[in-house]
Amino acid sequence: MNTISSRCGAEHGLISVDQALDRILQHVQPLDTEKLELQNALNRYLAENIYSSINLPLFSQSAVDG
């Protein structure tokens, strides 16, 4: 009959999460950024935050707050 061990397997030479992350990061390069019109940005990721030059809504509370 098979038994289930409560050990995580680290005694067999597994590496830590931090070591695994270091190994992964050694083999990847950051992507270049590019500027796009908003309508062409579907399914893209922002390289930096966007801030509005005006407050929206123009009043302190929206009717649908909740």
- CA dist., res. 15 & res. 66, Å (int): 46
In 3D space, the residue among 33, 57, 59, 58 whose CA is nearest the CA of residue 46 turns out to be: 33
Half-sphere CA count of 60, side-chain side, radius 13 A = 0
pTM: 0.39
pLDDT, tens digit (0-9, with 9 covering 90-100), for 28-55: 998 899 999 989 999 998 989 988 888 8
DSSP class of residue 31 equals P
Q: Which of 3-7, 18-22, 45-49, 58-62 has the lowest mean pLDDT?
A: 3-7
Residues 6+ apart with CB under 8 A from 15: 23
